[in-house]
Amino acid sequence: MGTYAVTGAASGMGRAAAERLRGDGHTVIGVDLRDVEVIADLSTPAGRSAAAAEVLERAGRLDGAVCAAGLGGIPGRDGMVQQVNYFGVVDLLEAWRPALAAAGNSKVVVFGSNSTTLTPMVPESAVRALLDRNPAKALRVVGRFRGRSAPFAYASSKMAVTRWARRSAVSPQWAGAGIRVNVLAPGIIATPLLEEQIARGEKDAVEQLAVPIGGRGKPKDVGDWVAFMLSPAADFLCGSVIFLDGGSDAYFRTDDW
Ligand code: NAI
């Protein structure tokens, strides 16, 4: 049995993943703002380094990590969204890399989103600013788009984290050290995050998004996918982005292949 760090383990898909892993007999160290082993605020550098250190203290070596903590794109918190969704993944994984390498055959699941391919006109310079570790610029860029800054902050954070994951996945420091990094890109999943989006004015956007299979995804099913992506069956999976979205990405980008 393995030891896994799971961020966002107090709610939604992170919680479902943690429950599934525990049910399979693994040890889970949850990281979140409440109700988990490691209480930390991933929106600040100090919170991230404290969280990373406490997990390492508890774990020693890590068989895997699941980075599910995230915030939806709601007006008024663009900087927080970029901090949690991008740096809340990258800073922790960089800090945990030696512990993941020590396990020999470890696996990381990063939560992306199908907003990375479905949000039109996301400013590329915001994505690049995050990858360049320039959060002030990333925030400035999305702030120029009045009325669109919240979806742009969200999509830019998920595009940057997806690109970071794919770049890392194939590098000597990660693939070369036996660490598989992959991205799970959910679509509309019924979680508190989605409820918040709907309550805060995104109801139409959520309801009008084409979902060919219909309905909404269930957190438990996502937890099962995470467990699969951490299992030996995923030994040959590296740098992949798995869309779990009822067909929305395929619908809008059918021939984009
Ligand atoms: P959720 O809101 O149910 O869970 C997210 C967790 O992240 C919460 O427990 C929250 O406390 C934690 N979190 C937020 N800010 C934090 C901070 N500053 N420090 C520490 N923890 C923090 O959300 P859900 O839906 O389960 O989302 C999981 C991931 O999936 C997120 O990265 C989200 O962006 C992504 N996603 C969600 C979709 C959906 O439809 N629900 C669609 C596509 C992606």
Summarize pLDDT for 150-201 with one digit per residue, the tens: 999 999 999 999 999 999 999 999 999 999 999 999 999 999 999 999 999 8
Asked if the structure places residue 209 within a domain, the reply is yes
**Predicted pLDDT at 202:** 85
Asked if the structure places residue 234 within a domain, the reply is yes
What is the DSSP annotation of the chain?
Answer: --EEEEETTTSHHHHHHHHHHHHTT-EEEEEESSSSSEE--TTSHHHHHHHHHHHHHHHSS-SEEEE-------TT-HHHHHIIIIIHHHHHHHHHHHHHHHHSSEEEEEE--THHHHSTT--HHHHHHHHTT-HHHHHHHHHTSTTTHHHHHHHHHHHHHHHHHHHHHTSTTTGGGTEEEEEEEE-SB-SHHHHHHIIIIIHHHHHHS--TT-S-B-HHHHHHHHHHHTSGGGTT--S-EEEESTTHHHHHTTT--
Asked if the structure places residue 247 within a domain, the reply is no
Establish whether 4 is a catalytic residue. Answer: no
**Predicted pLDDT at 60:** 83
Question: The domain containing residue 36 runs over which residues?
Answer: 3-120+158-242
Asked if the structure places residue 147 within a domain, the reply is no
Asked if the structure places residue 97 within a domain, the reply is yes
Residues of the chain where predicted confidence (pLDDT) is lower than 70: none
Is the CB of residue 248 below 6 angstroms from any atom belonging to ligand 1?
A: no
Give the ligand 1 atom nearest the CA of 7. Answer: 21
**Predicted pLDDT at 174:** 98
> ipTM, 2 decimals?
0.99
Is the CB of residue 129 below 6 angstroms from any atom belonging to ligand 1?
A: no
Asked if the structure places residue 144 within a domain, the reply is no
Is the CB of residue 8 below 6 angstroms from any atom belonging to ligand 1?
A: yes
Whole-prediction pTM: 0.98
Is the CB of residue 70 below 6 angstroms from any atom belonging to ligand 1?
A: yes
Asked if the structure places residue 106 within a domain, the reply is yes
Give me the number of domains the chain comprises: 1
Residue 100's CATH number: 3.40.50.720
Q: Which of 189, 193, 222, 241 to mutate to test the pocket of ligand 1 (most atoms within 8 A of CB)?
A: 193
Strand partners, 28: 4
Asked if the structure places residue 148 within a domain, the reply is no
